[in-house]
Structure 1
């Protein structure tokens, strides 16, 4: 009973390990989870170079989460902390960085949230998934089968050199020759081994990345704001008028317009175009050109409302066209180092009473909606029967499969060697079924010496050496196995010690 319980427990443990390994592979393959190997120092002291972080997709993300998003044009992800924003655009920043990330991805574009952190685990994973280690694992899985084939060939060569030629077929044990408790784990180990070798071959047969072309929207944008010092009055709650509200000219003569740029480095020049309903227009330079060294720049200009109104009145006096209202289009034009030009506009309306924002709050943010042809390296996809994963993930999954197969095989080998069947005769019949011939009890031939061997494998070797079969019968609880050569009978008995079984005269009519 204890041995049966041990077999069942062993089978259950191996099955659970196998199922867990398969689940991990499926989760990685479907993209619900991923593995990130950290580089750089942007998340020190939490993460260091070479750490392994397991990320998983989440239904929602909040400020304070550590999440990953894809970097445009690169086969990499950024793993930083969310410090602001919402599902439409999250703001990220590395714990060890001085500035926020220039990319603000929405929740739908996030790869996943940090789930498990393994210090220096990335270094171990890169080592285990290297070609030499994968080759060694594949060799270890196939070595057992190769060794068995070699032993079988050697036995056949020895049999062909003996005095008798055996015509019996070779023994084919397969899974049926294993104890029932080890058949399922052995089958799972074989499946994992084959899947790991096939997936590894697909993953290592090409590069991790391949070139792909796509239409990519520009991420260049400009945010506007304006303020005016209006003093203490009943028109405003404080002493400053702010966008997008109106600025009453009776309380303020000047308005400061700020602009915040995010995009490629270059130069910025700010102008204001004045126009009236009658068709008059004029362009006024306000500042620049100013060099933008990085991807972010903030600047401001001051509008003298009286001066702008006076210019429109002077033109009206000459042309006879109406002087108001005056439309003011403020344009911080950016020319990048590559020659591209971005010309966002902030449209204001100036009347004798106030300065207003006719476009509402939405006009304070301008994003470049132009698309451009973009060629970049993207992860190479591999797969079988419609199930595809990246080549990098396939290498990891293949290593997991091979390790699971190797570990399961080692466990099976250890338990198989330690497991000795309680019924020795049953074990002999199961293992050497193709070598045995069951007969009726036979008498010892007169004048022929009988030699008792100590182990059945010795008797089996003698049979194979001479190209003979092993005769087998059972009597009084004793299993007898004999090999009859021309002059000698070799015998092995199982079930009791040979010394306890005295030779008995056999009936004359017994036959094979």
Structure 2
């Protein structure tokens, strides 16, 4: 296999490896299948610590024991825990360091991926490596290193070189390159700087922002609750209403009043979603779907507290995990053509002794939920409005294009660099070379020029001869003298010689006249 074939094969293997790595590591934000999660918290200790990097890949089947990640609607973040059970297409997860189960039970389609690789403290390093100053410094070093390598190959290297000499050669390497190459490198640098600048602004901004009050979907829901109670010291009258605490000893059934304002026609499906700290959850219908034809609708729901508590107690008995309280989300879910599903909720906490609003109590006694369609956040780029998602994609593509351009410049330079480069010939064929002074053209001996030094080397090996070499006027001449024939290869540039001199003519590779 010739040297050029070996170089081509090596380049091919390198490109295949690069494509394989790119296929595996291509992020989901750019259409790939690999997700990167920087971990925080203590739920997965000791296997994971804050700052570790988790590399996730989607799989066909998720099984108990797998570490997987999903986006939690409850906590509005990505949760990565271990699967402990699978039932009816839903998965139960728990952190290795947690004593409780996750309250949410995702399906297979809701998983981001399964853990493929853990990089200790890789999240911290990834954050540092994506900082603008680090990227700029890395790109500058790559340019100087690439330029220094290209420049050094055009000269014969010394066996020893002092550090100041290396620094001077590296600093001046770019200026020694051809103008066309300098222009290409400058274009790559501009692309990289634009991509990094755009990336800093894009990745530091959320992709969406909450719509302003004048641009929401116009759907609103107001909640309140009330119940009739016997006269007792617990209340001043015979009615308890939100946001007052409901004492279970006096109240068995609660009326939930809701008022919907928004798009019509619509369909309202009322449900109650129950959950406990153990991870159990269930959905209980509160009535049949209601068709709404007007933009304003008021409805009433009946909440049987004893029945809901009995449902939670039955689940606790089945799982063996007692629940001290049950979270209840009363949701009259609204569906309307042309709009996303509107799922407002009144959140309540139920214990054996009382029921109350979850969180801070509000006054007045109604709780309002609104539906807003989040707007895609945009950036002003040179007077052009560009969405943050598009800006992120563009920034990555620009940086990748710059790096690909730099690799292409270096690769083409290496492939186009002939084997006639003196330093390459010295390294590979030094044992065959004999340094001599410039020689005149032998009288009556034909001179045959070969196309490359490798051919001359094969001729010398075939006839068991040495290669004569001399340098004159920046031209390297290599000669193999066989019986009655002189084979010659020369490289370098020099002014046109004077044909009147036989010695000059032969030293510059011209037959004597």
Same fold (TM over 0.5): no
TM-score class, shorter-chain normalisation, is 0.3 to 0.5
TM-score when scaled to structure 1? 0.44
TM-score when scaled to structure 2? 0.44
Between Structure 1 and Structure 2, whose CA radius of gyration is higher?
Answer: 1
